[in-house]
């Protein structure tokens, strides 16, 4: 085994590193195990099959999937731009993309409201011309999800594009491929594992989105109430139900990560 | 330097840090209020008040004269009544619990963390609309077709809203069920909602940002506020004084000015 030989050559891993590493593992693991332990298993089936829960789960899955498709359609070109095209202000653009990543989600909600709310910079004329407003609709939920997930997708894909050798692109170009063909047939296929990783990460982020959604869209069953919002509200009246629903989120998150890792990413 | 000294103590220290964590993992029985002795200088005294969201402004006003009289520091933690009651049961540091309904107070009473419980104010539900009333809301009947919000069924202001809507046979669907009364008010102030159902005191607190429209018959569904000192109070006398203060004539006057009714 490779691990064995590394160990023999470099000596025992020092306690100074192993102990904090173990501590970090426990810190991440204990709350999740405690949550599973606190779950009321008898009441679980009832909680999960309630109409509110099913509606929230459905809305969460639909909105985050639509959001991630939009993130990919818009984010992949942006990632390519950042990774492959030299232009003035590239650093500034990259910094801009990172902002929603570090922004508290509730701030993202306030920002979205200022732009797309019914009295927002874009929202007000939109409402006037079309009668449509994002807040309190599933479209608003998707919009909030796209806003918070896009940076994950762009940053992950840009990293993957950068680590793919640009000389393949150059080779394709010397063979007469246009830049679009190169992008489609060479660049993206080479960076595919990174693209998938970014997509999964963004999807998971979108599935867990709460702060921006509740600030921008409020909370209504079947329309804007996603699983995290439902869990937050359920906690007020029925702690057991909140735990059961949290367990679903945990299972869905882990399930998707495991499934995608085994099938597509193939990392150890 | 001679051979590197092995730091045998380090893993032991780290382990000792871990043990309480492991204990937390298995124990969720929530025996409240036995560790409040940890951080308390009681010179001059400090009072921590856990209060319902709708008390945000009035408790800040009540705190100032109280601080002057007792030379004490009052800090108030606001949230939904249910949340706060659960925190109190979990042993959250706090001397006073003030809730916007009886159910939440009952949670704390059932866990025996309360002293004597007193009613100290009432509140009535009202319609609020953004300044200028863009949707032209005049009464509950106009909610149909408008984008309006109320509190979620789970929180006190939502329960009252449900009761009032039922009394008036209103079936209009809200655009959103907010997590507490301040979130509901916020959706109206920002103009995202054409109308919202909040307590009349929230309408007073929002000042010129909103216009309030009385709901005839809403006083049939009065909200009562309950206050008690908590068992984990570090300074029981000071906590008792706060309960006396909010029920006193002067305290009641401040509450009345903020739009609260007397119990």
Neighbours of B90 (CB within 10 A): 14
- Cα B238 to Cα B177: distance, rounded to the nearest angstrom: 38
In sequence order, what are the beta bridge partners of B79? B52
Instruction: Calculate what percentage of chain A has a pLDDT beyond 90.
Output: 43
Any CB–CB contact under 8 A between B24 and chain A? Answer: yes
Report the 3 state secondary structure along chain A: CHHHHHHHHHCCCCHHHHHHHHHHHHHHHHHHHHHHHHCCCCCHHHHHHCHHHHHHHHHHHHHHHHHHHHHHHHHHHHHHHHHHCCCCCHHHHHHHHHHHHHCCHHHHHHHHHHHHCCCCCCHHHHHHHHCCCCCCCHHHHHHHHHHHHHHHHHHHHHHHHHHCCHHHHHHHHHCCCCHHHHHHHHHHHHCHHHHHHHHHHHHHHHHCCCHHHHHHHCCCCCCCCCHHHHHHHHHHHCHHHHHHHHHHHHHHHHHHHHHHHHHHHCCC
Mean pLDDT of A49-62: 91
B147 and A136 within 8 Å at the Cβ level: the answer is: yes
pLDDT at B149 over 90: yes
Any CB–CB contact under 8 A between B149 and chain A? Answer: yes
Q: Which CATH class is domain A42-265?
A: mainly alpha
pTM (two decimals)? 0.76
Any CB–CB contact under 8 A between A236 and chain B? Answer: yes
Query: Could you tell me where the DSSP H helices lie in chain B?
Result: 9-26, 56-70, 81-89, 102-110, 156-167, 181-189, 200-206, 236-247, 249-257
Tens-digit pLDDT profile for residues B15-42: 454 444 444 433 333 333 333 333 333 4
ipTM beyond 0.85? no
A19 and B147 within 8 Å at the Cβ level: the answer is: no
The number of C-beta contacts closer than 8 angstroms across A and B is 91
- Cα A203 to Cα A137: distance, rounded to the nearest angstrom: 20
Mean pLDDT of A226-251: 87
Say how many residues make up chain A: 268
Tens-digit pLDDT profile for residues A90-147: 999 999 999 988 899 889 999 999 999 988 999 999 999 998 999 889 999 999 999 9
Instruction: Calculate what percentage of chain A has a pLDDT beyond 70.
Output: 93
pLDDT of residue A260: 67
Which among B28, B154, B174 has CB closest to A220? B174
B177 and A233 within 8 Å at the Cβ level: the answer is: yes
Of B202, B214, B194, B205, the closest CA to residue B131 belongs to B194
Closest chain B residue to A15 measured between Cα atoms? B11
Any CB–CB contact under 8 A between B192 and chain A? Answer: yes
Rounded to the nearest angstrom, the minimum Cα separation between B158 and chain A is 12
A118 and B178 within 8 Å at the Cβ level: the answer is: no
Q: Which two tokens stand for residue B122?
A: 């009432």
B24 and A34 within 8 Å at the Cβ level: the answer is: yes
Any CB–CB contact under 8 A between B83 and chain A? Answer: yes
Report in angstroms the alpha-carbon separations of B170 from B158, B164, B180, B214.
Answer: 15, 9, 21, 15
Report in angstroms the alpha-carbon separations of A248 from A14, A141, A221.
Answer: 38, 20, 18
How buried is residue B165: exposed, middle or buried, by Cβ count under 10 Å (0-12/13-18/19+)?
buried
Tens-digit pLDDT profile for residues B215-257: 998 888 888 999 999 988 888 889 999 999 999 999 999 999 8
pLDDT at B155 over 80: yes
pLDDT of residue A52: 87
Strands B176-178 and B148-151 come out as: parallel
Are residues B53 and B182 in contact, defined by beta-carbon separation less than 8 angstroms? yes
Are residues B96 and B69 in contact, defined by beta-carbon separation less than 8 angstroms? no
pLDDT of residue A90: 92
Residue extents of the structural domains in chain A: 42-265
Tens-digit pLDDT profile for residues A149-199: 999 999 999 998 988 888 888 888 888 888 899 888 888 888 888 888 888
Q: For residue B185, give the 3-state DSSP assignment.
A: helix
Any CB–CB contact under 8 A between B147 and chain A? Answer: yes
Closest chain B residue to A117 measured between Cα atoms? B192
pLDDT of residue B28: 35
- Cα A139 to Cα A112: distance, rounded to the nearest angstrom: 13
Q: What are chain B's domains?
A: 46-122+224-257 (3.40.190.10), 125-221 (3.40.190.10)
Tens-digit pLDDT profile for residues A4-31: 555 567 888 888 999 999 999 999 999 9
pLDDT of residue B59: 92
- Cα A176 to Cα B210: distance, rounded to the nearest angstrom: 65
């Amino acid at each position: 085994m490779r691990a064995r030989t590394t160990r023999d050559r470099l000596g025992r891993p020092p306690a100074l590193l192993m102990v904090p590493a173990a501590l970090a593992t426990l810190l991440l693991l204990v709350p999740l195990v405690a949550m599973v332990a606190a779950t009321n298993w008898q009441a679980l089936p009832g909680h999960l099959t309630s109409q509110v829960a099913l509606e929230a789960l459905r809305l969460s899955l639909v909105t985050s999937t639509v959001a991630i498709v939009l993130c990919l359609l818009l984010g992949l070109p942006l990632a390519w731009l950042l990774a492959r095209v030299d232009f003035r202000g590239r650093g500034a653009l990259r910094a801009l993309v990172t902002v929603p990543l570090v922004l508290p989600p509730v701030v993202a909600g306030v920002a979205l409201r200022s732009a797309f709310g019914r009295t927002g910079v874009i929202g007000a004329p939109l409402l006037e011309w079309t009668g449509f407003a994002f807040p309190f609709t599933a479209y608003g939920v998707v919009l909030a999800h796209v806003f918070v997930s896009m940076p994950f997708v762009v940053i992950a894909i840009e990293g993957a594009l950068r680590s793919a050798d640009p000389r393949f692109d150059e080779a394709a170009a010397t063979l007469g491929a246009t830049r679009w063909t190169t992008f489609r047939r060479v660049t993206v296929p080479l960076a595919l594992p990174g693209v998938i990783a970014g997509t999964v990460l963004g999807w998971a982020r979108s599935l867990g989105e709460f702060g921006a959604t509740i600030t921008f869209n409020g909370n209504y069953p079947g329309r804007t109430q996603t699983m995290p919002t439902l869990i937050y509200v359920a906690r007020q009246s029925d702690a057991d139900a909140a735990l059961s629903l949290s367990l679903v989120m945990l299972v869905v998150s882990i399930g998707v990560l495991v499934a995608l890792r085994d099938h597509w990413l193939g990392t150890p | 330097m001679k051979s590197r000294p092995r730091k045998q103590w380090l893993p032991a220290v780290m382990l000792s840090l871990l043990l309480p964590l492991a204990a937390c993992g298995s124990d969720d029985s929530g025996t409240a209020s036995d560790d409040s002795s940890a951080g308390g200088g009681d010179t001059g005294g400090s009072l921590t008040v856990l209060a319902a969201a709708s008390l945000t402004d009035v408790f800040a006003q009540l705190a100032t004269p109280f601080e002057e009289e007792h030379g004490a520091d009052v800090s108030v933690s606001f949230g939904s009544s249910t949340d706060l009651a659960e925190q109190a049961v979990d042993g959250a540091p706090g001397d006073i619990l003030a809730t916007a309904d009886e159910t939440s107070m009952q949670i704390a009473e059932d866990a025996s963390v309360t002293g004597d419980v007193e009613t100290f104010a009432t509140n009535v539900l009202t319609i609020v609309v953004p300044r200028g009333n863009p949707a032209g809301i005049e009464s509950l009947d106009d909610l149909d077709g408008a984008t309006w919000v109320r509190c979620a069924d789970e929180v006190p202001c939502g329960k009252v809203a449900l009761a009032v809507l039922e009394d008036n046979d209103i079936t209009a669907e809200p655009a959103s069920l907010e997590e507490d009364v301040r979130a509901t008010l916020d959706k109206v102030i920002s103009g995202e909602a054409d109308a919202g159902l909040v307590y009349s005191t929230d309408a007073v607190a929002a000042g010129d940002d909103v216009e309030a429209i009385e709901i005839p018959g809403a006083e049939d569904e009065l909200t009562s506020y309950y206050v008690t000192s908590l068992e984990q109070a570090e300074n029981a006398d000071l906590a008792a004084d706060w309960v006396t203060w909010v029920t006193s004539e002067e305290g009641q006057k401040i509450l009345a000015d903020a739009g609260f009714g007397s119990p």
